[in-house]
Amino acid sequence: MRCPPVKHDPTRRAGHHFAPGPDHFPREDVTGLVQQAKCTDKTRMSNRWHNHLNALRDGTLPLPPSAENLKLGRLDAWEPGRIEKTWVFQEDFRNRRGALFGGYLASLADQAAALAAFSVLEDSESFTTADLQISFFRPALDGPLKIVAMVVNRSRSLLHVEVEISGPDGRLVAKSRVVQAVRPYVADG
Q: What is the DSSP string of 61-92?
A: SPPPHHHHHTT----SEEETTEEEEEE---GG
Cα separation, 183 vs 157, in Å, equals: 7
In eight-state DSSP terms, residue 144 is P
**Mean of all residue pLDDT scores within the chain:** 81
- What is the per-residue pLDDT across 93-110, written as a single tens digit (0 to 9) for each? 888 999 999 999 999 999
The burial of 158, by beta-carbon neighbours within 10 Å (0-12 exposed, 13-18 middle, 19 or more buried), is given as middle
**Global confidence as pTM:** 0.76
